[in-house]
Structure 1
Amino acid sequence: MAIPESQLEIWANPGSQDKYKDAHESIRKALDAYGWPNGKPTYDIYLQGSYKNSTTTRSNSDVDVVVQLNSSFKQDLSRLSQHEKDAYNRDHSDATYRWDDFRGDVFNALNTKDSLTVNQGNKCIKVKTPYLDADVVVCMQYRFYEKYLNSTLNNYIEGMAFKSNGGWIVNYPKQHDKNGTLKSKNTNGNYYPAVRIFKNIKSKLIDKNIINKEQVPSYFIECLLYNVPYSNFEARYGNTIRNVLSYLNQQDITNFKCQNGITSLFGDSPDQWSAKNARNFINKTIELWNNW
């Protein structure tokens, strides 16, 4: 017996969107009020993750806030010719204010506010606000250059980079959001409800001790579904889930890309998924679907 449409309708609806804007704003105000010891750098604050793209579920709590340093940046010049690389190197010098400095300042800025409780995490700063708990990812701008003639005639894809366990993690949250919005438009709005359903299925499987939470990050579920063709997403949720599972069960998923369209979804780096864990999630979801 398949999962009833009535249950899928419940899972398709987003969780509460209340308070995340207030949490975001409390962090922004703390940074604005800080007396930056080396002068205020240029930075952006923006949301990423489920609150940004409306794929929250009822089990969501923490809001992901990115604080991105823009006055210094990391770069990838691998697509450039040697002539373009030489031009880039002539126009740029090493920054004196780096990611480590910025992360220290952001932590101090947040820690000075009595309304916030702040703790150091591995990949992020953990902040308890009066509204929602927040994972604050402190990063610097990352530029994946596709062309470079000079400081005004160039083209790059903007990402972000931060250190974790001594190594750099690179991601493209703005590209992720842009591609997800386009996918939603091209599926008549049926993409994001499907993502929410699969995230809720994940929670159900965890509650039943069928899968391990750490092996199926919600971000990777969204990226997995991003690789499914538009035509599989229908207005009736049962048809969509059946189509998606059928497609994934027949595909070699190892070549899938993340929703940013740039990085590979599967691999051995800390910001990639295990194909074995993904295949297990697909199989267990099929079993749940068939044996509801």
Structure 2
Amino acid sequence: MVIPESQLQIWANPGSQAKFKDAHESIRKVLEIYNWPNGKPNYEIYLQGSYKNSTTVRSNSDVDIVVQLNSFYSQDLDNLSYNDKQLLLKFLSKSSYQWEQFRYDVIKALRNMSSFTVSEGNKCINVETPYLDADVVVCMQHRLYVNRSEARDHYHYRMRYYKKGPYNYYYIEGIKFRSTDGRWIINYPKYHDKNGTSKSQQTNGMFNSTIRIFKNIRSHLVDKNIIKIDEAPSYFIECLLYNVPNSEFESSHQKTVHNILSYLSSKDIKVFKCQNCQINLFGNSPDQWSVTNAKNFINKAINLWNNW
């Protein structure tokens, strides 16, 4: 017996969205009133993750928040010619207020709030607010430049994704920060969100509801000790499903789950990209998924589907 539509509908429903906006706003206000030592820097604060993407499930708790420094940024010029690189190197961010000092000030500002409990994790700052716990990523803007011919040939992509830099060079905006174990990490959360929103619209909302179903399948498998929770992180599951063609998402949850499991079991998933379309989903980096773990999750999900 396969998983009934009624159970899938329960799993498809979003978890509580209450209080995540309050948590976000409380952190924003703390940074707004902080006495910045050299004047308030140019930064922005925004949501990422399941609350931002409306893919929360009942087991979700922490809200993911990005605090991004824009007055200092890093550049990736590897896609450009030598002459183009030399031209853009003149525009390297020269601000004396850099990411390390910004991170120090953000932590200090958060610790000034008596109602917050603040601790440092490997990648983010863990903040217990009166509303929800928050994982705060403190980062600087990162610019991935593309060559002019690519930007010119991909007009619609340019309009949606590329930003115009000096001398009409185009770049994709990401974030960059260093973990406490010393690794520099680059990601593209704004494009993860844009691509997810677009795919949800193109599938009549079935993309987001299916993500919630698969996250709940993961939770069920973890609860039954069939897989370990760190074998199938929620972010990777979302990226995995993003690579499934829109045509596999149907109006019925049963048909959709069946289609997706059949598709994933028959494809070479090693070539899949993350939802931001910039980073490979699978690889040897600590920030990539193991093909072995992904296939194990898919196979266990198929067994659950066939033997409910």
Superposition deviation, residue 167 in structure 1: 1.2
1:158 to 146, 160, 173: 173
2:48 maps to what in 1?
48
CA deviations 1:29-79 (Å, max 9, x no partner) are 000010011221110100000000100000000000000010001111011
1:9 maps to what in 2?
9
| Counterpart Cα distance in 2 of 1:62 and 1:262 | 26
Q: Gaps spanning 5+ residues in structure 2: where? A: 149-163
User: What is the correspondence of 1:61-72 to structure 2 with a 5 Å cutoff?
Assistant: 61-72=61-72
Read off the aligned partner of 2:200 and give its amino acid letter. S
Q: Structure 1 pair 150/286, CA: closer, same or farther in 2 (3 Å)?
A: closer
Superposition deviation, residue 88 in structure 1: 0.7
2:202 to 152, 166, 186: 186
Count, aligned residues: 292
2:281 maps to what in 1?
265
User: What is the correspondence of 1:82-93 to structure 2 with a 5 Å cutoff?
Assistant: 82-92=82-92
Matched, 1:75 2:91: no
8 Å CA contact 1:88–1:150 kept in 2: the answer is no
Q: Structure 1 pair 150/282, CA: closer, same or farther in 2 (3 Å)?
A: closer
Read off the aligned partner of 2:282 and give its amino acid letter. F
User: What is the correspondence of 1:233-248 to structure 2 with a 5 Å cutoff?
Assistant: 233-248=249-264
Read off the aligned partner of 1:213 and give its amino acid letter. I
Read off the aligned partner of 2:178 and give its amino acid letter. K
CA deviations 1:155-207 (Å, max 9, x no partner) are 10001011111111111000001111111111121111000000000000000
TM-score normalised by structure 1 residue count: 0.98
User: What is the correspondence of 1:1-292 to structure 2 with a 5 Å cutoff?
Assistant: 1-92=1-92, 94-147=94-147, 151-164=166-179, 165-292=181-308
8 Å CA contact 1:144–1:158 kept in 2: the answer is yes
8 Å CA contact 2:165–2:171 kept in 1: the answer is no
8 Å CA contact 1:146–1:156 kept in 2: the answer is yes
Superposition deviation, residue 105 in structure 1: 0.5
2:161 maps to what in 1?
none
Task: Name the Cα RMSD after superposition.
Answer: 1.2
The alignment-based identity, stated in percent, is: 64
Q: What SS does the aligned partner of 2:166 have?
A: coil
TM-score normalised by structure 2 residue count: 0.93
| Counterpart Cα distance in 2 of 1:198 and 1:92 | 43
Superposition deviation, residue 152 in structure 1: 5.0
Q: What SS does the aligned partner of 1:86 have?
A: helix
| Counterpart Cα distance in 1 of 2:212 and 2:115 | 32
Q: What SS does the aligned partner of 1:64 have?
A: strand
Superposition deviation, residue 150 in structure 1: 6.8
8 Å CA contact 2:80–2:145 kept in 1: the answer is yes
8 Å CA contact 1:142–1:158 kept in 2: the answer is yes
